[in-house]
Amino acid sequence: MRKLQSLFIGVVAIILLLTFLVVRLNHASNASSKVLNIYNWGDYIDPELIKQFEKEYGYKVNYETFDSNEAMEAKIKQGGTAYDIAIPSEYMIQKMKKENLLLPLDHTKIHGLENIDPRFLDLAFDRENQYSIPYFWGTLGIVYNDKFVDGEKIKHWEDLWRPELKNNIMLIDGAREVMGLSLTTFGYSINSKKMEQLTQATKKLNDLTPNVKAIVADEIKMYMANEESAVAVTFSGEAADMMAENEHLHYVIPPEGSNLWFDNIVIPKTSKNQAGAYDFINFMLKPAIAKQNAEYIGYSTPNKKALAMLPKSIADDQQFYPDDETINHLEVYKNLGAKYLGIYNDLYLEFKMYRR
């Protein structure tokens, strides 16, 4: 009889333990479903929009930032954090698709895609937007200060080599960007895989070193606004921030060609809150939200309804919303593959070392 009682008590104890574990798991699951982990570039969303999203949808947002596509990809590969949203650039989206790091999107759960300008949908890096939704787009160009430089003399990439610009140029720290501008001076593709062209471009960059004052990242905005250099090579949104701080700064897209880039929203394969990810995508597709974000960030919005809501001084500014003729001369970065990405990085490092 005692054995039966002991068995009964043991069974009850096991049932109670299992019930407790189920409740804890359900609680943890429910808790995780109310947390949204976002991985984005630094200073790339209006913080007020994060607060508004949390309030409207009832999520707690964990927001982390990265400083390069490669750093973002590496961390998602490691899988330590289950990011629900990430915002990579076009060539990295191609790469992450091949590496099976992204979830295909269920378009029946997306509302507001019709707000996006068709020019920014169904692009080569993600046909039919199977994995990504447009967030921002922009260009790479030249910023100059009219107090120190005649604007008529800064229109082309070749103008960066002018001797009067000695120790007066700041470059954004990026292998694809710096190698690309040099390739473009020869009329070559910024996605070139021809070693003779890459070698020629590197040699030309070495000739630019007397003019290069510094190679920097986000600090370039502060330096140019404070007039610590006459000229800079940077992205359009960074240029917009600088120009807002200093009326003497101007942005130029060289007519011979440059980079046209796109940053899109994706759902990494490790996501544990896909419902929240779709809520965030739909939130950012709202025209009023996209407008507010574009005004805060300074980059170009792909949301045509948001663009129509922006002040004409912004929407009609061809420095940041270039016409189709200009866009047709621009190139999108392609995924070069590990071999050639390594070659670009090595040649760029060679240029940086040559400066020393």
Q: What is the CATH number of the domain that holds 91?
A: 3.40.190.10
The number of residues making up the chain comes to 356
Q: What is the mean pLDDT of each run of 10 residues along the chain (356 residues)?
A: 51 56 45 84 95 97 93 93 96 95 98 97 96 97 97 96 97 95 97 98 97 93 96 94 94 95 97 97 98 94 98 92 90 92 95 81
- pLDDT at 5 (0 to 100): 55
Q: How far apart are CA 184 and CA 254, in angstroms?
A: 10
21 in a structural domain: no
Same domain, 240 and 180: yes
243 in a structural domain: yes
Same domain, 335 and 228: yes
Q: How far apart are CA 169 and CA 265, in angstroms?
A: 33
Same domain, 95 and 217: no
Same domain, 245 and 336: yes
- pLDDT at 19 (0 to 100): 54
- pLDDT at 99 (0 to 100): 96
- pLDDT at 22 (0 to 100): 46
Same domain, 214 and 280: no
14 in a structural domain: no
Same domain, 143 and 169: yes
72 in a structural domain: yes
- pLDDT at 24 (0 to 100): 52
- pLDDT at 17 (0 to 100): 58
56 in a structural domain: yes
Strand 249-252 versus strand 133-145 pairing type: antiparallel
68 in a structural domain: yes
Query: Do 195 and 347 form a contact (C-beta atoms < 8 A)?
Result: no
Same domain, 169 and 233: yes
What is the SS3 assignment for 180? helix
Q: What is the pLDDT of residues 230-280, one digit of tens each?
A: 999 999 989 998 999 999 999 999 999 999 999 999 999 999 999 999 999
Q: How far apart are CA 216 and CA 219, in angstroms?
A: 6
Q: At 340, list the tokens.
A: 């050639």
254 in a structural domain: yes
- Under 8 Å CB-to-CB from 135, ≥6 apart: which residues? 87, 263, 264, 265, 284, 302
Q: Whole domain around residue 45: which residue ranges? A: 34-132+266-321
What's the domain count of the chain?
A: 2
26 in a structural domain: no
Q: How far apart are CA 309 and CA 305, in angstroms?
A: 7
Same domain, 284 and 243: no
Query: Do 149 and 231 form a contact (C-beta atoms < 8 A)?
Result: yes
What is the SS3 assignment for 319? coil
Query: Do 250 and 151 form a contact (C-beta atoms < 8 A)?
Result: yes
Same domain, 80 and 147: no
> What are the residue ranges of helices labelled H in the chain?
2-33, 47-57, 69-78, 90-98, 175-185, 195-208, 220-225, 236-245, 274-285, 287-297, 304-309, 312-315, 324-327, 337-355
Q: How far apart are CA 237 and CA 333, in angstroms?
A: 18
What is the SS3 assignment for 252? strand
CA distances from 169 to 146, 149, 174, 215, 337 (A): 14, 11, 15, 9, 31
Same domain, 151 and 225: yes
- pLDDT at 143 (0 to 100): 98
Q: In the chain, helix, strand, coil percent, each to 5?
A: 50, 15, 30
Same domain, 111 and 72: yes
Same domain, 246 and 122: no
Query: Do 264 and 90 form a contact (C-beta atoms < 8 A)?
Result: yes
